[in-house]
Amino acid sequence: MTLSLGGRFAGEQVWQLHPERNVLSARVQTDFAGVLPEIRRVQHSRMHPRTLASQAYTEGDGRGRPTFETSFDRRSGLVTLRQGRDEVSQPLTNEYHDPVSLLLWLRTLQGQERAAAHLTGGRALIQRLPDLEVDGHPCYTYFLRPGNAYVYVEQESPHRLRRLIQPTDFGPIEASVGLPRARPGGSGSDKGRRRSRREER
């Protein structure tokens, strides 16, 4: 996916999904660039392959130990959150999603008007908005609160995420599938973009 801010190139995001033993693993690497500071963020989610409920989630720069971790231990009935040296646990009373598994779970709603999901930071409310065509693909449009994010999901199988819009301190950042916009850089940058598009497929 190509990131843009105010119509200007702001980086790239690559999603990789693959099955592991009894779980679905998703890795999302976001490389901010262009009009944004060059920062890498790597999110890794392990989830139930059918319900897409989160079993573990980490977030960091991909080069060292994650800066944020969440684990869901159903044997002990605890949710454990770690950030730096701080660690806190709480009872596991619901099925939880993380920021990655939530977006993948939205693909299964197939136009449901309203839904809700539990995250460790609180409850996410999902509202369906009028359908929209994105690059020639009819999409369901979902609005998420809190966060005020918009998610556009293909109506036809395989129900890909076509566009994400997330408010930030810099302004709304849009992630969309398709050809990247013009950006500064030489052939090395072009090669990286071609590799990212191959991985998306």
**Total number of residues shown for the chain:** 201
Q: Mean pLDDT in the chain?
A: 88
In this predicted structure, the answer to whether residue 124 has a pLDDT above a threshold of 70 is yes
Res. 196 pLDDT band, cuts 50 70 90: very low
pLDDT value at residue 179: 52
pLDDT tens track for 66-92: 999 999 998 899 999 999 889 999 899
The pLDDT score that the predictor gives to residue 194 is 38
**DSSP secondary structure, 86-139, as one string:** EEEEEE--S-B--HHHHHHHHTTSTT-SEEEEEETTEEEEEEEEEEEEETTEEE
Predicted confidence (pLDDT) per residue in 157-190, tens digit: 999 999 999 999 999 999 999 754 444 444 344 4
Q: What is the pLDDT of residue 110?
A: 93
pLDDT tens-digit readout, 19-59: 998 999 999 999 999 999 999 999 999 999 999 999 999 99
